[in-house]
Amino acid sequence: MDKIPIDIHCEFAVELVLATPYAYWLHTQNKLGDVYVAKDMKPFYYFADNVIEKYSSRTINNAAAGLNSLPNNWLHHNAEAMFGKDHVISEADQIRANGVLDYTQWTPPPLKEIYKNDRFTFDKEVVIINNSFNIEKGGYPTRYFSIECLYEMFSYLTEKGYKVIYKRPKTNSLPTEDQNEQGSFRLGEIEAQVEGIGLINDHELTEYFEDVILFDNLLGSNPDLSYNTLQCMLYANCNKFISYVGGAGILCSYFDGKNIMWLSRGKEIREDYFSEDAYYHNLSNCEIITVRDKNETYPHSIENYSEFIQTIKAHY
């Protein structure tokens, strides 16, 4: 039987949704050949016999990234599989298609089961908070939590008795970057003036909370683990996540539990994007709760996050 190779270097989120589940499906059919991916993606292809981390960068050009070799080559729908045409005309069809893929050759690998471990256990239940501060299609970032928002979350969760792991990678710490990430260095930091302290960034804020752990510090103290291996091991031991739609929200949704996601702008705000048939709900048994920013002002003020913070308090 001829084996089918995977050769991909698209955006991280796109790969986790379109390429990894196809590769695992091929594996279950004994059809998977060599896998060529970006640096440090091997942990997501643990099931493959031969993984070559071929690429040192990613591209947001879908054709150049190799997506056209996959059964699903577009993240936000597969209208051709659903309707027999590559676009949808009626509003009803558009709504039905949002976030829905062709699942006939699509099986997400059981990452939680594989990476569950005794190494990363803590004295309190863990909540993992993901943050980002990247250019979004050439524009100002919207999928990020401000210093005020983080302070509210850190304070509430630690007072409730949780241990918090905070992850917001700086672009030069990522294993591979796409064009948007590479251009984000000029944005600077997530930072604000704090009374009695002065100018502070989000990484520095974690130092003021005894039960908030910075992901970067865990990475530094576990040099035998790669960036993505550490992510998988931490996430596998966690059942409560806070994230934003995109790569972080997708990764969290692979690990069961509950994932409260911030939704600002993008195709994900379309009606019924998070229907039961959407890919987010098919990555694992994760309960997904989305909160949309209804105050479209950038940079964000604390008012942008008020419903989001209330949702966290209602569930955690």
- The identity of residue 232, as a single letter, is C
Question: How far apart are the C-alpha atoms of 13 and 127, rounded to whole Å?
Answer: 21
Average pLDDT over residues 180-192: 59
Q: Are residues 291 and 150 in the same domain?
A: yes
pLDDT at 273 > cutoff 60: yes
Q: What is the pLDDT of residue 132?
A: 87
- Residue 238: pLDDT band (50, 70, 90) is very high
Q: Are residues 169 and 232 in the same domain?
A: yes
Residue that terminates a domain, selected from 84, 107, 130: 107
Q: Which tens digit of pLDDT belongs to each residue from 239-272? A: 999 999 888 999 999 999 999 999 987 788 888 8
Average pLDDT over residues 157-175: 84
Sign of the four-CA dihedral 284, 181, 205, 147: negative
Q: What is the pLDDT of residue 297?
A: 74
Q: What is the pLDDT of residue 302?
A: 81
Q: What is the pLDDT of residue 244?
A: 92
Q: What is the pLDDT of residue 169?
A: 82
DSSP 233-292: HHHHT--EEEEETTHHHHHHTTS-SEEEEEE-SSGGGSTTTTSTTSGGGGSSS-EEEEEE
CA 180 to chain centre: 15
Hey, which residues does 262 pair with through a beta bridge? 244, 291
Q: Are residues 32 and 67 in the same domain?
A: yes
The CATH number of the domain holding residue 301 is: 3.40.50.2000
Q: What is the pLDDT of residue 274?
A: 92
Query: Hunting for tokens 């970006």 — which residue is that?
Result: 38
Average pLDDT over residues 164-189: 61
Q: How many domains does the chain have?
A: 2
Q: Are strands 191-194 and 163-167 parallel, antiparallel or unpaired?
A: unpaired
SS3 of 163-185: the string is EEEEECCCHHHCCCCCHHHHHHH
Q: Are residues 96 and 167 in the same domain?
A: no
Q: Are residues 149 and 261 in the same domain?
A: yes
Domain that holds residue 124: 113-315
Q: Are residues 178 and 76 in the same domain?
A: no
Residue that terminates a domain, selected from 56, 83, 107: 107
Q: Are residues 137 and 53 in the same domain?
A: no
Q: Are residues 98 and 131 in the same domain?
A: no
Q: What is the mean pLDDT of the chain?
A: 89
Question: How far apart are the C-alpha atoms of 79 and 77, rounded to whole Å?
Answer: 6
Q: What is the pLDDT of residue 148?
A: 94
pLDDT at 179 > cutoff 70: no
Q: What is the pLDDT of residue 20?
A: 98
Q: Which tens digit of pLDDT belongs to each residue from 283-301? A: 999 999 999 988 777 777 8
Q: Are residues 78 and 138 in the same domain?
A: no
pLDDT at 78 > cutoff 70: yes
Q: How many CB atoms lie within 10 A of CB 177?
A: 21
Residue that terminates a domain, selected from 92, 107, 122: 107
pLDDT at 177 > cutoff 70: no
Percent of the chain whose pLDDT exceeds 70: 90
Cβ proximity of 120 and 219 under 8 Å? no
Q: What is the pLDDT of residue 171?
A: 53
Q: Are residues 91 and 71 in the same domain?
A: yes
Cβ proximity of 100 and 78 under 8 Å? yes
Model-level pTM greater than 0.95? no
Q: Report phi then psi at 133, rounded to 5.
A: -155, 75
- Residue 174: pLDDT band (50, 70, 90) is low
